[in-house]
Amino acid sequence: MSTQKRKSVSYSKWGYIFIIPFFVVYIFCSLIPLFSTFYNSFFENYRDGLTQIGPNFVGFENYIKLFTPNSSGNILILDYTANTMIMWLLGAIPQLIFSLLLAIIFTSARLKIKGQQFFKTVIYMPNLVMASAFAMLFFTLFSNVGPVNQLINAMGGETVDFFGNVWTARGIIAFINFLMWFGNTTILLMAGIMGIDQSLFEAASIDGANSVQVFFKITLPLLMPILVYVIITSLIGGLQMFDVPQIITAGIGKPNRSTMTLIMYLNNYLSTSKNYGMSGAISVVVFIITGILSMFVYKTMVKGDDSGKKKAKKLAAKGVK
């Protein structure tokens, strides 16, 4: 890995030739669209039936509209941000707990779990399944005439309108997200735990630390950087939540818009009325939130690694005493 020390050759023009396709495509397909999205957010530009309105420069009008309460006194973008975050949290908390438990079980030298490959294969599989198909499946399973309600009826219960109730609807969406992502998180955390210096565990056990102490004084603090990375990337992913609630509620965020996410809001403006102005403004809001979160990731990746380790080593030293 480190045998060859940056012994590059003077064929520099080839460097440019090799990276040009990537950069040209990136600039045209992502960077220019990103800037024009920002640019669009300052214009009134939409389709009203067959008539095209704009583009007219309106300054911050779209943003003001975005944050102005509607007739019933709700600021929709804040409501939708809250919905997105609530559904993310409902899925992410069990996801972290399960993943942490599984990662510890799999990496434990004492437990020596057999059939690891099988278990890892099984828990990772939902991650590769089409989110929209997954959502459709759950929609049919939990519909008023679906198998879940048939079971409830067979046991003498009343039909539950899962998608008509705020918390069951949100719960099902969060559950699908949990199911799709806990395997992935487990594998990431396992990689993190296996990267921890084994001698620390040995030292702790020689000094008579029990499993709980080892977990809280060594594993957890040393895992912090990866844990933070996992949480923030999950949060960024959560902000993009779209496929599952879009399919389950057919795009309307039923019941009473309580499962409407930020990206569904954006999609509504973009696909139905081609409202580039409003959807542009929503994109900028999402971009800013993501940008702030990404900065945390970047910091934890660059700095957090060292300081986290030092801190953990100190803690570990204290812990074994």
Partner 1 sequence: MNANTFTPAGQKTKSDKGKMMASRVISYIFLAFVTVLSLFSFYLLIINATRSNAELQAGFTLIPHGNFINNFVKAWNDTSLVSIPRGMLNSFIIAASAAILTTYFSAMTAYGIHVYDFKGKKFAFNFILIVMMIPTQVSAVGFVQLVNQIGLSDTYWPLIIPAIAAPSVFFYMKQYIESSLPLEVVEAARVDGSNEFLTFNTIALPMLKPALAVQLIFAFVASWNNFFTPALIINTKEKATLPIMISLLRSELNSRAGDLGEVYMMILLAIIPVVIVYIFLSKHIVQGVALGAVKG
Among 62, 81, 184, 234, binds partner 1 (CB under 8 A): 184
Is 64 among the residues that bind partner 1 (CB under 8 A)?
no
Is 294 among the residues that bind partner 1 (CB under 8 A)?
yes
* Alpha-carbon distance values, 308 to 192, 204, 223 (Å): 13, 19, 8
Is 202 among the residues that bind partner 1 (CB under 8 A)?
yes
Which residues are CB-neighbours of 256 under 8 A, at least 6 positions away? 166
Is 136 among the residues that bind partner 1 (CB under 8 A)?
yes
Q: Is 299 exposed, middle or buried, given 0-12, 13-18 or 19+ CB atoms closer than 10 A?
A: exposed
Is 129 among the residues that bind partner 1 (CB under 8 A)?
yes
Is 71 among the residues that bind partner 1 (CB under 8 A)?
no
Is 173 among the residues that bind partner 1 (CB under 8 A)?
no
Among 49, 72, 117, 318, binds partner 1 (CB under 8 A): 117
Token reading at 44: 């009134």
CB of 108 to partner 1, least distance (A): 5
Among 77, 90, 226, 260, binds partner 1 (CB under 8 A): 226
C-alpha span between 296 and 145 (Å, rounded): 46
Among 188, 311, 313, 315, binds partner 1 (CB under 8 A): 188
Which DSSP string corresponds to 112-173? Answer: --S-HHHHHHHHHHHHHS-HHHHHHHHHHHTSTTSHHHHHHHHTTPPPP-GGGSHHHHHHHH
C-alpha span between 313 and 222 (Å, rounded): 8
Tokens 């990404």 — which residue? 294
Among 290, 309, 311, 315, binds partner 1 (CB under 8 A): 290
φ and ψ at residue 185, rounded to 5 degrees: -60, -40
CB nearer to partner 1: give 73 or 321: 321
Is 219 among the residues that bind partner 1 (CB under 8 A)?
yes
- Span of 63-71, 76-84, 166-174, 242-250 interacting with partner 1 by CB under 8 A: 242-250
Is 54 among the residues that bind partner 1 (CB under 8 A)?
no
